[in-house]
Structure 1
Amino acid sequence: MKRTLYYPIALSALTALNTACSLNTDLTIPDKPMPPSFQDQPEQPDGANVSTINWREYFSDSQLLNLIDTAVGNNLDLQIALQRIETARSSVKLANGNLLPKVALNIGGGVSRFGLYTMDGAGNATTEITPGQTVPVNLPDMFVGVQSSWEIDVWGKLEDQRKSATSTYLSSVEAANFVISNLVSDVAIYYNELLALDHELEIIRLTIQKEQEALEVIKLQKQAGRANELAVQQFNAQLLSTQISEKTVRQQITEIENKINYLLGRYPQPIERSKDVFFTETFHELSAGVPSQLLENRPDIRAAEFQIAASKFDLQAAKAAFYPTVNITATFGFQAFNPEFLFVSPASIAYSVFGQLIAPIINMKALEAQFNTAQANQLSAMYNYQKTILNAHVEVANQLANIKNLKDISILKKEQSDTLKQSVDVSKDLYKSARATYLEVLIAQQSALQSNLELINVIKQQRISGITLYKALGGGWR
């Protein structure tokens, strides 16, 4: 009889073991080695990298530093990321607790009545529970003690779950660091856009003032017969166009201020700033180092690496789920039918110890589905890691090329702006001597305004590219 009972149990356990042994947990994908240096950049043996500089030292504008400090303390996205860390930390504590026996206090009681024409009922009717007293028909049952259960981690499943939770926690920490890095760069970028708009607004207002003066001169020339109504209308139309540009820039300033306030976690209010710092060089020397440093400095790459580790442990735990589970349960306490006998006699001491070996039989397909899901998750984590590294490398390469090209563009734009400023004065002098038409004067003024605005835009892009490179290299979270 016993052999008949144990045979299917042993067979199911062996089947589960054989299935688990055939599952592959050693997954790999094609490796993509990183190049030794960034494109068009010589390899730097000293490994100098601007990302190691703290953002409080990288930026020198005190008003910008105050804004970033406020953002780091109040930004809502960052607060959400910090709460994800707390969630992951709790998961680690839970996984650690699963490795230990569970012990609980058990205080309970009840009443049982057995039918007289049953084995228990007939036995109780003739059995003395105390000298001279048979077992009551309505039998109370009271218990005070502790009960324990423990899943023995024979196959390492619980340990793998603990390691997975720890890796997920570390990934959440790096994810929060990445949020900080993005937050620092976003505030700095919007701040520089705001400074650029301030200078654009100043140039537009000066242009409006000059165009108003030019319009008055044309009106006087019309009265003297030296100009016609068409010239007055053309000059007035250009003035109206520039005034529209002023309104547009003022709206853009409001929107950028509100974007900064949103990052700072506060409602719209003016942003304190000094536009004079816009033309001053405030950044450190932009050394990129070597691509391999991205693996250590970029929080998103480190987070992706920890996700690979977490998925690996999840896969191992999914494999261990095929093996039999070994559980031990135990109780120890005092049990009696009457409270006065509960603690006064050693006879009321009660205990039990029970061991179980549970092997899956009919739910193998579900376990295989869980294992296949864990396999896919690990492969996805590996590909995501490669994708994150590739994205980081491309970001750095783009910004290095952008900085180089913007430097050349800036030199040309300054020459163009100076030339067009002179052309405005020349066109006015020629117009006064009737050697140029009013249309040539308008074109010269419009070209000069556009050139000045483009120069401001190039300088803004130069400053923003320095910030973006700093973030792309992994700076801003330390």
Structure 2
Amino acid sequence: MNKSIFKLINIRSVVTLTLSSLIFQSCVPTKTVREEKKDLPEQFQNVASKDTTNSAQIKWKTFFNDEHLNALIETALVNNQELNIFLQQIDMAKNEIQARKGEYLPFVGLQAAAEVEKVGRYTSQGANDANTEIKPGKEFPEPLQNYKVGAFATWELDVWKKLRNAKKAAVMEYLSTVEGKNFMVTNLIAEIADSYYELQALDNKLKILTQNLELQNNGLRTIRLQMQAAKATSLGVQRLEAEVYKNTAELFSVKQEIVETENKLNFLVGRAPQPIQRNSEQFVEKEIDTMYVGIPSQLLTNRPDIRRAEYELQAAKLDTQVAKANFYPSFTLRAGVGLEAFQTKYLTSTPESLLYGLAGDMVAPLINRNAIKTAYYNANDKQLQAVFEYEKTILKAHIEVLNGLSKIDILKKSYEQKVHQVEALTNSIEITTKLFNAARADYMEVLLTQRDALESKLQLVETKKEQLAAKVNMYKSLGGGWN
């Protein structure tokens, strides 16, 4: 008889749960968010081959091949404050996974309590206590003490996978944070390399200005002697003096830039200001290695910012499922077991002092669900935002590579032309200097020739710096550096 009753109750419970689920599901709003697009061409524009060799897969130590630069990067990866701040965000995201995981496991707690209570005799409870005997001839004590020890548990049944999806979303957020750190590492390495090459370029500019000032001072001494011999006028002296003052001021400006660039590098490295070890010799002649870009689809795996956007999108999809599950009923089990008595000596007297309980709840939103609807619609909108962000990141990465390819090619051609320009103007300096010393050329020809030669040499150094910066930027655009 009892077994039949229990079977009937179980059947009714299942039927009730099923009907309730169908009713609530029919009332849940739906909003479809389109899938993300990540189509990329089979090869980069103006790249004939489909070779998958990719410079992004080269380790940064091998890619830069400069012991001083590599030492700076190694120190920065340990000491950079911004990077270390981001590492704490990763740790917090990891802790969030544990917190979400704990939500779909039972919560178990221990309880110990003691209380004293005095109720009025002319109340229902007081009158009942007065007429109750715990032993023949002995009433309830007054005031009434009570002692309790026990354990209790609550467990929300994750029927709709709301809690598990929330935990998966936390995992996606954690992975996104890790990729954010990788992207920061890539940018940090690129910024250090750019600043290092800029420092080398400034060293070469300082050297060129110093050599040019020495040449101009020699010319100034010559023209002063010519003026004393009435072979030149004071106008030539004044013009050459002005040029010397101008280049001297430029020399001081370059020295200040060197100080600021060194301090910038020390800041990125995360240490107090100190001289930066470097070798700036042969900077202009430094070879630019060939960059292998592979195929566009490799960007999806090599670029940390694309993977970060992808994880953010996955988290947004899971958050939408969690928001949708809030429309469905939640089921909670509560249980407790312990000992309770009004005197401690009875606390261990079982089964009289034993207490236990088991209850189950089903709670579902019925009226005024606007807040839940708003949360669901916002989750869908955030998911669509994540779709657009993911697509934008892919498009940006593709365009960055194309721009980098074009820039490397243009700078290579520009550098070759500037080399010829420097050679021609350097030769013209020797010619005009000889003519000037022989009084066959005036000071203006010397002045203009020296000025043009100086500008061409400085431009050559600047072009070499831009070439190296373009190489670093391409390495970053392809997704290199973080691994």
- Shift in alpha-carbon separation, 1:439–1:56, aligned structure 2, 3 A: same
Q: Which residue of 2 aligns with 1:109?
A: 114
- Distance 1:121-1:352 versus aligned 2 partners, 3 A rule: same
Could you tell me which runs of 5 or more consecutive residues in structure 1 were left unpaired when the two chains were aligned: 1-8
Distance 2:270 2:396 in 1: 29
Give the counterpart of 2:66 among 61, 65, 69.
61
- How far apart are residue 345 of structure 1 and its match? 3.1
1:160 paired to 2:165: yes
- What CA distance in whole angstroms lies between the structure 2 residues aligned with 1:169 and 1:323? 28
Corresponding residue number in structure 1 for 2:457: 452
How far apart are the structure 2 equivalents of 1:112 and 1:173? 57
**Does the Cα contact within 8 Å between 2:158 and 2:164 map onto a contact in 1?**
yes
Residue type at the aligned position of 1:84: Q
SS in 1 for 2:164: helix
Q: Deviations over 1:359-417 (max 9, x none)?
A: 11344100011111111111111100011111111111111111101111011000000
Q: Which amino acid aligns with 2:33?
A: L
3-state secondary structure, aligned to 1:69: helix
The yes-or-no answer on 1:342 pairing with 2:347 is: yes
CA distance in 2, matches of 1:238, 1:140: 102
Contact 1:12 1:359 in 2 (8 A): no
Separation (CA, whole Å) in 1 of partners of 2:169 and 2:425: 64
Cα distance, 1:136 vs structure 2: 2.7
Given the alignment of the two structures, is residue 401 of structure 1 paired with residue 410 of structure 2, yes or no? no
Q: 1:18 — aligned with what?
A: 26
TM-superposition CA deviations, 1:250-298 (whole Å, max 9, x none)? 1111111111111111222211111125245466531000111000000
Mapped contact 2:79–2:270 kept (Cα < 8 A): yes
Q: Aligned partners of 1:250 and 1:129: how far apart in 2?
A: 98
Cα deviation for residue 449 of structure 1 reads 0.2
Q: Deviations over 1:141-162 (max 9, x none)?
A: 2111111111100111001101
Partner of 2:138: 133
1:276 is paired with a residue whose SS is: coil
Q: Could you tell me which amino acid in structure 2 is paired with residue 390 of structure 1?
A: L
- Determine whether 1:35 maps to 2:22: no
Q: Which structure 2 segments of 5+ residues have no match?
A: 1-16
Distance of aligned partners of 1:283 and 1:125 in 2 relative to their CA distance in 1, 3 Å threshold: farther
Residue of structure 1 in register with 2:441 after alignment: 436
Equivalent position to 1:247, from 245, 252, 267: 252
Tell whether the 8 Å contact from 1:59 to 1:283 is kept in structure 2 after alignment.
Answer: no
CA contact (8 A) 1:304 1:384 kept: yes
1:143 aligns with 2:151: no
Inter-partner Cα distance in structure 1 for 2:97 and 2:288: 41
Question: How far apart are residue 76 of structure 1 and its match?
Answer: 1.1
CA distance in 2, matches of 1:204, 1:246: 6
Q: Secondary structure at the match of 2:96?
A: helix
**Are the aligned partners of 2:262 and 2:275 in contact in 1 as well (CA < 8 Å)?**
yes
The correspondence of residues 265-344 of structure 1 with structure 2, limited to 5 A, is 265-276=270-281, 278-279=283-284, 281=286, 284-344=289-349
What secondary structure, in the 3-state scheme, does the structure 2 residue paired with 1:217 have? helix
Q: 1:213 aligns with which of 187, 195, 218?
A: 218
Q: Which moved more, 1:282-291 or 1:232-241?
A: 282-291
What amino acid maps onto 1:113 in structure 2?
K
- State how far apart, in whole Å, the 2-side matches of 1:146 and 1:449 are: 86
Residue aligning to 2:473: 468
The answer on whether the counterparts of 2:87 and 2:181 sit within 8 Å (CA) in structure 1 is yes
Q: How many angstroms apart in 2 are the aligned matches of 1:72 and 1:210?
A: 45
1:184 corresponding residue in structure 2: 189
- What is the rounded CA distance, in whole Å, between the counterparts of 1:143 and 1:32 in structure 2? 62
Distance verdict in 2 for CA 1:474–1:196, change over 3 Å: same
Match of 1:238 in 2: 243
Q: State the 1:14 CA deviation.
A: 6.9
Q: Secondary structure at the match of 2:338?
A: strand
187-196 or 264-273, which moves further after superposition?
A: 264-273
The residue aligned with 2:200 is 195
Q: Which residue of 2 aligns with 1:3?
A: none
Once the 2 structures are TM-superposed, how far is the Cα of residue 347 of structure 1 from its aligned partner? Answer: 1.4
Instruction: Quote how far apart the aligned CAs of 1:117 are.
Output: 3.2
* C-alpha contact 2:284 2:461 (8 A) present in aligned 1: no
Instruction: State TM-score, norm by structure 1.
Output: 0.94
Q: So what's the TM-score if we normalise by structure 2?
A: 0.93
The whole-number CA distance in structure 1 between the counterparts of 2:62 and 2:288 is 9
Letter in 2 for 1:330: A
Q: How many residues are treated as equivalent by the alignment?
A: 467
How much has 1:15 moved relative to structure 2? Answer: 6.2
Deviations 1:153-191 (A, max 9, x none): 011100110110000000001110111111111111100
Contact 1:323 1:359 in 2 (8 A): yes
1:360 aligns with 2:365: yes
Conserved 8 A contact 1:335-1:348: yes
Output the CA distance in 2 between the equivalents of 1:17 and 1:113: 51
Aligned-pair CA distance for 1:123: 1.4
Q: CA deviation at 1:131?
A: 4.4
1:85 positional shift = 0.6
Distance 2:159 2:182 in 1: 37
Measured in 1, the distance between the counterparts of 2:97 and 2:65 equals 40
Change (3 A) 1:156 1:183: same
Alpha-carbon distance between aligned partners in 1 of 2:196 and 2:233, rounded to the nearest angstrom: 46
Q: Distance in 2 between matches of 1:453 and 1:320?
A: 66
Question: 1:464 offset after TM fit, Å?
Answer: 1.1
Separation (CA, whole Å) in 2 of partners of 1:376 and 1:130: 69
Which residue number in structure 2 is paired with residue 412 of structure 1?
417
Give the direction of change, closer, same or farther, for the CA distance of 1:99–1:474 in structure 2 (3 Å limit): same
Shift of residue 119 of structure 1? 2.7
CA distance in 2, matches of 1:453, 1:421: 13
Q: Matched residue of 1:275: which SS?
A: coil
Q: Which amino acid aligns with 2:371?
A: A
Q: 1:419-430 to 2 correspondence within 5 Å?
A: 419-430=424-435
CA contact (8 A) 1:13 1:359 kept: no
> Match of 1:18, as an amino acid?
S
Are the counterparts in 1 of residues 284 and 460 from structure 2 also a CA contact under 8 Å? no
Amino acid of the structure 2 residue aligned with 1:382: V
Query: Partners in 2 of 1:277 and 1:299 — Cα distance?
Result: 34
Give the share of equivalent positions with the same residue, in percent: 40
Q: What SS is found at the alignment partner of 1:146? A: strand
Q: Which residue does 2:263 correspond to in 1? A: 258
- Counterparts of 2:37 and 2:312, CA distance in 1: 17
Over residues 204-256 of structure 1, what are the superposed CA-to-partner deviations in whole Å (9 max), with x where a residue is unaligned? 00011111111111111111111111110000000000001101111111111
SS of residue matched to 1:429: helix
Paired letter, 1:41: V
Q: Which residue is equivalent to 1:4?
A: none
1:110–1:141 CA contact under 8 A, matched in 2: yes
